[in-house]
Amino acid sequence: MATSVLDAKEAGANGVGTAGARVMKALVYHGPGKFGWEDKPRPVLLEASDAIVRITTSTICGTDLHILKGDVPTVVDGRILGHEGIGVVEEIGSAVTEVKVGDKVILSCITACLKCDFCKRGMYSHCRSGGWILGNTIDGTQADYVRIPQANGSLYKFPEGGDEEALVMVSDILPTGFECGVLNGKVKPGDSMAIVGAGPVGLAVLLTAQFYSPGAIYMIDLDDKRLAVAKKFGATAVINSTDGKAVERAMELTGGAGVDVAVEAVGVPATFDICQSIVAAGGSVANVGVHGKPVSLHLEKLWDRNISITTRLVDTVTTPMMLKVIASGKIDPKQLATHRFALSDILKAYDTFGNAAREGALKVILRA
Amino acid sequence: MATSVLDAKEAGANGVGTAGARVMKALVYHGPGKFGWEDKPRPVLLEASDAIVRITTSTICGTDLHILKGDVPTVVDGRILGHEGIGVVEEIGSAVTEVKVGDKVILSCITACLKCDFCKRGMYSHCRSGGWILGNTIDGTQADYVRIPQANGSLYKFPEGGDEEALVMVSDILPTGFECGVLNGKVKPGDSMAIVGAGPVGLAVLLTAQFYSPGAIYMIDLDDKRLAVAKKFGATAVINSTDGKAVERAMELTGGAGVDVAVEAVGVPATFDICQSIVAAGGSVANVGVHGKPVSLHLEKLWDRNISITTRLVDTVTTPMMLKVIASGKIDPKQLATHRFALSDILKAYDTFGNAAREGALKVILRA
Amino acid sequence: MATSVLDAKEAGANGVGTAGARVMKALVYHGPGKFGWEDKPRPVLLEASDAIVRITTSTICGTDLHILKGDVPTVVDGRILGHEGIGVVEEIGSAVTEVKVGDKVILSCITACLKCDFCKRGMYSHCRSGGWILGNTIDGTQADYVRIPQANGSLYKFPEGGDEEALVMVSDILPTGFECGVLNGKVKPGDSMAIVGAGPVGLAVLLTAQFYSPGAIYMIDLDDKRLAVAKKFGATAVINSTDGKAVERAMELTGGAGVDVAVEAVGVPATFDICQSIVAAGGSVANVGVHGKPVSLHLEKLWDRNISITTRLVDTVTTPMMLKVIASGKIDPKQLATHRFALSDILKAYDTFGNAAREGALKVILRA
Amino acid sequence: MATSVLDAKEAGANGVGTAGARVMKALVYHGPGKFGWEDKPRPVLLEASDAIVRITTSTICGTDLHILKGDVPTVVDGRILGHEGIGVVEEIGSAVTEVKVGDKVILSCITACLKCDFCKRGMYSHCRSGGWILGNTIDGTQADYVRIPQANGSLYKFPEGGDEEALVMVSDILPTGFECGVLNGKVKPGDSMAIVGAGPVGLAVLLTAQFYSPGAIYMIDLDDKRLAVAKKFGATAVINSTDGKAVERAMELTGGAGVDVAVEAVGVPATFDICQSIVAAGGSVANVGVHGKPVSLHLEKLWDRNISITTRLVDTVTTPMMLKVIASGKIDPKQLATHRFALSDILKAYDTFGNAAREGALKVILRA
């Protein structure tokens, strides 16, 4: 079944738009607000480092909703969305050595060539030929099949006995929460921390922060339902910020000191502002949210507070570590999955996920 | 000569404002724009942890100019200014064990009790009973004598054979440049770095950055004279930012990548803005400047750039390391001293330092 | 009740050996194998930095057994043993600011002046005037009262609502396990680790390693009872090394890779040898045990294995962190307490602790 | 000129030992003491990730001498030696993307696939399909041509304007000194350090230690000529250990404290013993030497000294940093080259290098 890369290139050249092309279904973007579950040609190998993966489980990310609103200009008409998933390797190019046809794999949201200067520094997010490209500048994972460039650096073997609903969280949300929130925030045993935003990514921060045994984790959000989930996931206190008094509450809870680590997991100025207002002297503000506009940074108050502020697009360099921790049973990422749909029902899944508050949705699982 | 703490307290109680008080000269602040070289009572021991030091060398900090403008509300009428100096220990309280009467000492701008939670974490800047208090909330070092609280943590023995003009830079400017700029900026061998602001603190960053062998150091300033000094101090290239094109120049010099480390050593929004515009993906912005207003932080551009931004009031925890490096001859801080005055001519020294650009002044040395 | 330091010194001068001296009971060492629960004068303040503490809870350390065998030559005839305990501050010298009379406190096994070069670097273990001196070069805590030098750096406030049996473990065993085993071993989430020695210190390593969520913790010991305890405390697998096959078993469990972290918690060549034989390429051997003779280090096998080997006398710098983690309920150190005695029954307690295997003893609690 | 991988494989299959095989010259090992400059077939591409490099500069390593003595059993009869060199890429396999035919390149002594678990952790030395294989388990660089497997991870572009004699030191000796000695030794500004062994690798430690501005560097060796070189290279003091008093001298020089960092750069028990005897409390022993037998580690003295001992086979992960530092002119590795030969005169070069003490040889340069 494995096609050689030369054959595949030929097939690709001929196949697209011809009668001979094998057809599949995919979630296709057609500009702001327009998208559908449509026929598309099955992807073919284009480079020696590519793999073709048949999707068995996928999911939807908050970023996909941004794309659908037209907020992400790199995504053009005709693009297949999605950057998360589990699947089975169908074909590999001649330079692919780390997976073989038939392997079940976890797809990483970040494509890593492993060879460029950024990859060698562990900054896969800025890979010269990769980074976040899936469902962005190339077709993505909300489809029957997906082409994965740089397969050696972008696929992880699905562990024996693993659960697809749990491990699809490893594609993006868990390493994002862990690397951007927990590692950048330098969470240490006994620390006090606050997470602003109890959506899926904020909850991923909450789960993975517990790898380092902080003493107190305060979850701040506008939605009591999500705060209740946060409590269940290990938050030691929750703060509903609807009344605009989250800062006061956090300062009270910390005896006026502020938190050692404040994680921004929303992406708007107001939530960043909470973080910079509650971080203790010597503490860290770890930004996880995707921002669309500048924020006002109060250096006139912070210049002598010995704090750090970090930003990060997930590098997924901790994915091997994440898989080991999950294997040990330390966390159960499956809790993040609230709704299940057939992949072919993805339009319903988008409706549910797009109304997350109403539906009580965290991550929606799409099974092929 | 050493007076016991109880005697000293009594002397203090009696001495102030009485005929019996020993008098000294000091630079006294009387509100915005008003100050003089005046008679003041000699300080006396107030606590068991105090030492009284006779000043032999002092200097003026940019912060002192801010105080004189009325920008630092914690400084009240009657306050003796100054937080830098070399001197000789005249008296010690009963809890002082690390220096003895007659020792020549370097005074730290930061007062550290060593016992509070912040001091134990190495954050002397936020010491519960200290931090920056000299010449701020208590009388300072631009005087014949000064009382040093928490003498065990706030005085360093003057090394044998040391040079007072070189070592007075250890009171503040060298650890400030090193800790806030170089360490927080995580300068590594081969790194590219830019320092925005070629004043004394920016030059201290430049000198101490070389402890870690960066590959390129770009100095950015408006003043060609200061840039010429920076060249002499080791800058590999200089950028005069008068034309508003510093960002373009820095990007050119780095082949479009930006710098690994950008150090803000001025304290205004425009210079912070240069820093956030030129920092490379994966790089650091280390703020050293004292800011009076918020800055606009472009999270919409930076959220996925994997950068860190740090602030810090100097902790002076690296002072022992600094003394070892200076002893080894690696840097010559004396180059920072451009003008010399008798301590009693401090008003002239303020005039020179207050017109630093015109005078070509960096640090002015005051010798008692 | 607080006596001034001068009065105290006088009292001390007069008090020892006179009719007026206040008497207490203490466990006194008189050379190898000889010791008793005897009358001793109550300690008095000798330095301004001293505190006198009335013991409410104490315990016995494995090191005390070594002393009794005559293995610790710094301990001389007449010495009161013990370096762990909880108590109430009875008197303080004039330089003591961090605790006050009446405070309930945890006594640290390490005395720290906080002012010397080692203390400033966080190496309290090598404090120029402290380190491990309690129950070693000065009288210790197995007594009704104890004099604590450098009280500012050597006492920790007992947290409100705390449990004495749990918190007496903070005097020594928990920071020892954590600093020497876990921190030095650089335990990371998902790591595999082995602890050789399931005595109290090895179990302290086991408990505190879980602050960092290792993926697998193998406990190796000769005693099935202790291994059963280890299982209960969180070991993922146990290895009885009686058959001399611990190395083989550990290699099997790790698929031939060896462990990321091997902790030596016994102090003999054979157990160190297990550690160096099972450490993975890139891993760490963290020595916790007290050794009496050299070991053979197989550099001919290890020179290219990219490993680190560390030694450490506990610094107790993590005690504040430890107290925060315990307050959060993350671990329950009380599980380490297996037997309870009145302090006055300490000879029975020594008998039990000295036959730990037979008695199934871990830590014995002594309550005043 | 670039041959496709399939063609190359065919050529390889046919070419070896046939009339059509292209012939080259190489230094070939034939068992202990036996070697010659002989005809060998030119290497051909065997894998898609291979490159063929024409050698322009090579050199000899101390390890090559060990091989010739028969000390390295993985090296078999017929093997071409050498793991250092500069050359020009002649052919590349289809998976090679980081260099192209005609590129001048630095060859790394370590072969790195970049894709395995060890490579992803930055431990190229333990690469699952690489590590130190050149001139060991596969043919090496003392030849007209060499096949470089995993070319993407094992070749570095020769910088424009670079000097071949300087940059051939980047193949092995400089990263070895830096990673195994300086980084593992955790050299910090102001530190005192001792390097035991002033051979080429010890001198590489000396040069690269200066990236971090230690305050004192003591070089210890038996040979006054080498010690004189060390002085010239930046050693602040030298100790001739012929009299067996190196430990006493080092302790004197450090005022009895010992050194913060002791680097073992010889590989015998006696030199390791010096290191463990002179390391200060809290210090590091970084092993660089290749050892053939165990050493006696004095844990009975060191268990409470808070030291670390590290071993490491060079990973060459710092090669990009090294190239940046060299480009900045911070060090001049060319000083390590003492003798020059034509590559075809390699037998003379071996004679000189094999009698390094007599000849005053450090590195011998072989130019094709």
The minimum CA-CA distance between A129 and chain C, rounded to whole Å, is 30
pLDDT surpassing 50 at residue B5:
no
Q: Which pLDDT score is estimated for C21? A: 77
Any residues with CB less than 8 A from the CB of D350 and at least 6 apart, and which? D27, D35, D60, D64, D68
List subunits contacting chain B, requiring 3 or more Cβ pairs under 8 Å.
A, C, D
Inter-chain contact C125–D299, Cβ cutoff 8 Å?
A: no
Q: What is the largest CA-CA distance in chain B?
A: 70
pLDDT surpassing 90 at residue D52:
yes
Inter-chain contact A294–B290, Cβ cutoff 8 Å?
A: no
Output DSSP code: residue D241.
Answer: G
pLDDT surpassing 60 at residue B13:
no
From the candidates B299, B312, B318, which should be mutated to test the interface with A, based on the most A CB atoms within 10 A? B299
- pLDDT class for D21, splitting at 50, 70, 90? confident
A294 chain-B contacts, CB cut-off 8 A: 296-300
Output DSSP code: residue A182.
Answer: I
From the candidates C120, C124, C150, which should be mutated to test the interface with B, based on the most B CB atoms within 10 A? C120
From the list C252, C251, C221, the residue with the least C-alpha distance to C235 is: C221
From the list D162, D43, D64, the residue with the least C-alpha distance to D105 is: D162
Distance CA(B192)–CA(B261), nearest Å, equals 7
Q: Are strands B192-196 and B35-41 parallel, antiparallel or unpaired?
A: unpaired
Output the CA torsion sign for A287, A288, A294, A296. Answer: negative
Q: Which pLDDT score is estimated for C20? A: 61
| Contacts with D, C 275-294, CB within 8 Å | 281-282, 287, 289-294
From the list D338, D267, C285, the residue with the least C-alpha distance to D349 is: D338
Q: Which pLDDT score is estimated for A21? A: 77
Q: Are strands B295-297 and A295-297 parallel, antiparallel or unpaired?
A: antiparallel
Inter-chain contact C327–A188, Cβ cutoff 8 Å?
A: no
Output DSSP code: residue B56.
Answer: E
Our measurement of the distance from residue D295's CA atom to the centroid of its chain's CA atoms, rounded to an integer in Å, reads: 23
C126 chain-D contacts, CB cut-off 8 A: 281-282, 306
Distance CA(D242)–CA(D263), nearest Å, equals 18
From the candidates B170, B186, B210, B211, which should be mutated to test the interface with D, based on the most D CB atoms within 10 A? B211
Distance CA(B169)–CA(B159), nearest Å, equals 14
Q: Give the phi and the psi of residue D173 in degrees, each rounded to 5.
A: -65, -40
Helix (H, G, I), strand (E, B) or coil at D39: strand
From the list C71, C70, C77, C80, the residue with the least C-alpha distance to C30 is: C77
Distance CA(A204)–CA(A183), nearest Å, equals 13
Any residues with CB less than 8 A from the CB of C148 and at least 6 apart, and which? C50, C51, C52, C53, C107, C111, C134, C154, C155
Inter-chain contact A236–C190, Cβ cutoff 8 Å?
A: no
Distance CA(B158)–CA(B163), nearest Å, equals 9
Per residue in A288-324, pLDDT tens? 999 999 999 999 999 999 999 999 999 999 999 999 9
C48 chain-B contacts, CB cut-off 8 A: 48, 94-95
The pLDDT of A221-241, averaged and rounded, is: 97
pLDDT surpassing 90 at residue D120:
yes
| Contacts with A, D 307-326, CB within 8 Å | 317, 320
Closest residue in A to D152 (Cα) is A115
D260 chain-B contacts, CB cut-off 8 A: none
The pLDDT of D185-191, averaged and rounded, is: 98
List subunits contacting chain D, requiring 3 or more Cβ pairs under 8 Å.
A, B, C
Q: Which pLDDT score is estimated for C11? A: 40
Q: Which pLDDT score is estimated for A13? A: 40
Contact D81, D59 (CB under 8 A): no
Contact B349, B323 (CB under 8 A): no
- Residue D302 in contact with partner chain C when CB distance is under 8 A: yes
In angstroms, the Cα distances linking D227 to B259, D212, D234, D273, D352 are: 39, 21, 11, 20, 19
The two structure tokens encoding residue C230: 């280890």
From the list C161, C158, C169, C148, the residue with the least C-alpha distance to C47 is: C148
| Contacts with A, C 252-271, CB within 8 Å | none
Per residue in B157-212, pLDDT tens? 999 999 999 999 999 999 999 999 999 999 999 999 999 999 999 999 999 999 99
Identify each DSSP E strand in B235-362 by its residue range. Answer: 237-240, 259-264, 279-287, 295-297, 308-310, 337-342
What DSSP element (H or E) covers D299?
helix D299-302
Contact D124, D316 (CB under 8 A): yes
- Residue B332 in contact with partner chain D when CB distance is under 8 A: no
Any residues with CB less than 8 A from the CB of A127 and at least 6 apart, and which? A110, A111, A112, A113, A116, A118, A119, A150, A153
The two structure tokens encoding residue A256: 């006026």
Distance CA(A16)–CA(A23), nearest Å, equals 10
Inter-chain contact C307–D307, Cβ cutoff 8 Å?
A: no
Higher confidence at residue A9 or residue D245? D245
The pLDDT of B134-157, averaged and rounded, is: 98
- Residue A328 in contact with partner chain C when CB distance is under 8 A: yes
Amino acid type, D66 = H
DSSP conformation letters of C26-92: EEEE-STT-EEEEEEEPP---STT-EEEEEEEEE--HHHHHHHHT--TT--TT-B----EEEEEEEE
Closest residue in C to B317 (Cα) is C120
Output the CA torsion sign for C53, C59, C60, C62. Answer: negative
The minimum CA-CA distance between B3 and chain D, rounded to whole Å, is 34
Distance CA(C199)–CA(C356), nearest Å, equals 9
The two structure tokens encoding residue A167: 């491990």
Instruction: Quote the mean pLDDT of chain A.
Output: 94
- pLDDT class for A6, splitting at 50, 70, 90? very low
Output DSSP code: residue D58.
Answer: E
Q: Give the phi and the psi of residue D163 in degrees, each rounded to 5.
A: -110, 125
Q: Residues of chain D with pLDDT > 70: what percent?
A: 95
- Interface size A-D, in CB pairs within 8 Å, comes to 35
- Residue B329 in contact with partner chain D when CB distance is under 8 A: no
Any residues with CB less than 8 A from the CB of D6 and at least 6 apart, and which? none
The pLDDT of B345-350, averaged and rounded, is: 98
Q: Which pLDDT score is estimated for B20? A: 61
Distance CA(C154)–CA(C135), nearest Å, equals 14
Distance CA(A127)–CA(A171), nearest Å, equals 17
Query: Can you say whether residue C193 is alpha, beta or left, with left for phi > 0 and alpha for psi between -120 and 50 degrees?
Result: beta
Closest residue in A to B176 (Cα) is A304
Identify each DSSP E strand in chain D by its residue range. Answer: 23-29, 35-41, 51-59, 85-92, 104-107, 145-148, 155-157, 192-196, 216-221, 237-240, 259-264, 279-287, 295-297, 308-310, 337-342, 363-367
pLDDT surpassing 70 at residue A16:
no
Q: Give me the helices (H) in chain A, please.
A: 5-15, 62-69, 117-120, 151-154, 164-167, 173-175, 200-209, 224-233, 246-253, 269-278, 299-302, 319-327, 346-354, 356-359
Any residues with CB less than 8 A from the CB of C239 and at least 6 apart, and which? C194, C218, C219, C220, C221, C227, C246, C249, C250, C253
Amino acid type, C245 = K
pLDDT surpassing 90 at residue B233:
yes
Q: Which pLDDT score is estimated for B21? A: 77
Residuewise pLDDT in 10s, chain C (368 residues): 333 333 434 444 433 344 567 999 999 999 999 999 999 999 999 999 999 999 999 999 999 999 999 989 999 999 999 999 999 999 999 999 999 999 999 999 999 999 999 999 999 999 999 999 999 999 999 999 999 999 999 999 999 999 999 999 999 999 999 999 999 999 999 999 999 999 999 999 999 999 999 999 999 999 999 999 999 999 999 999 999 999 999 999 999 999 999 999 999 999 999 999 999 999 999 999 999 999 999 999 999 999 999 999 999 999 999 999 999 999 999 999 999 999 999 999 999 999 998 999 999 999 99
Distance CA(C72)–CA(C194), nearest Å, equals 29
Residue recorded with tokens 């004679």: D351
The minimum CA-CA distance between B201 and chain D, rounded to whole Å, is 20
Query: Can you say whether residue C186 is alpha, beta or left, with left for phi > 0 and alpha for psi between -120 and 50 degrees?
Result: left
Angle at B228 between CA B224 and CA B233, to 5 degrees: 140
Closest residue in C to A236 (Cα) is C328
DSSP conformation letters of D141-194: SSBSEEEESSHHHHEEEPPTT--HHHHGGGTTHHHIIIIIIIITTT--TT-EEE
Inter-chain contact A95–D320, Cβ cutoff 8 Å?
A: no
Distance CA(A46)–CA(A24), nearest Å, equals 18
- Interface size A-B, in CB pairs within 8 Å, comes to 116
Q: Which pLDDT score is estimated for B11? A: 40
Inter-chain contact B296–A298, Cβ cutoff 8 Å?
A: no
Q: Which pLDDT score is estimated for A117? A: 96
Any residues with CB less than 8 A from the CB of A304 and at least 6 apart, and which? B125, B132, B290, B311, B312, B313
The minimum CA-CA distance between A152 and chain D, rounded to whole Å, is 7
Distance CA(C47)–CA(C149), nearest Å, equals 7
- pLDDT class for A131, splitting at 50, 70, 90? very high
Q: Which pLDDT score is estimated for A20? A: 62
Per residue in A170-207, pLDDT tens? 999 999 999 999 999 999 999 999 999 999 999 999 99
Per residue in B277-311, pLDDT tens? 999 999 999 999 999 999 999 999 999 999 999 99
Any residues with CB less than 8 A from the CB of A113 and at least 6 apart, and which? A49, A119, A127, A128, A129, A130, A150, A153, D97
Q: Which pLDDT score is estimated for D16? A: 39
Inter-chain contact D298–C294, Cβ cutoff 8 Å?
A: yes
Task: Pick A308's closest partner by Cβ from B267, B298, B310.
Answer: B310
